[in-house]
Amino acid sequence: MKQHTPVPEFSRPLQVDRVPKAGSVEKLSAEPQELKALAKRMKIPALHSLSAEIRATPWRGGGLKLEGHLTAEVEQISVISLEAFRETVSVPVSRYFLPAGAVAENEEEDDADPIENGWVDLGEVAAETLALDLDPYPRKPGETFAEHIEDDGREAERQSPFAVLSRRTKE
């Protein structure tokens, strides 16, 4: 049975052997349909924008070093109030790639990903970087959990167990 390789929602392939020795600066921006697909993948209500500027530089004989910055406008649901809110996310990008054989031989290169068929997908690098940076428990700026605790008049029942024991030993 043939395995199906998923196609990234935001694909911007870069051919590694065409990157000049001095490096190149790549500017990426996601289209509306890509933003919608990425939001679905990241399980957020909406991704309003995603752009990145990444400098690609040859690294360690056949490898590639990526450094740059991405900016995204995301919509998330607060875990406290359950209200949707928009937030601008700004994240540095730093990734290293080596040819597939070099990664397998050199296991101490934990931070290097394999180059697949001579290409690195800058769009997928940006999408992965954003996904890893999103807060799994988002809350609106300035929102705290204490604001949402209701007083039900049972403060005495919420006393420290040690305070309750102390009272009992005195009785």
Query: Over the stretch 162-171, which tens digit does the pLDDT of each residue have?
Result: 776 667 666 6
pLDDT at 73: 98
pLDDT at 164: 66
Residue 107's pLDDT band, with cuts at 50, 70 and 90, is low
Judge whether residue 159 has pLDDT over 60: yes
pLDDT at 1: 52
Query: Over the stretch 45-91, which tens digit does the pLDDT of each residue have?
Result: 999 999 999 999 999 888 999 999 999 999 999 999 999 999 999 99
CB 160 within 8 A of CB 95: no
Q: What's the whole-model pTM score?
A: 0.77
Residue of higher predicted confidence among 104 and 36: 36
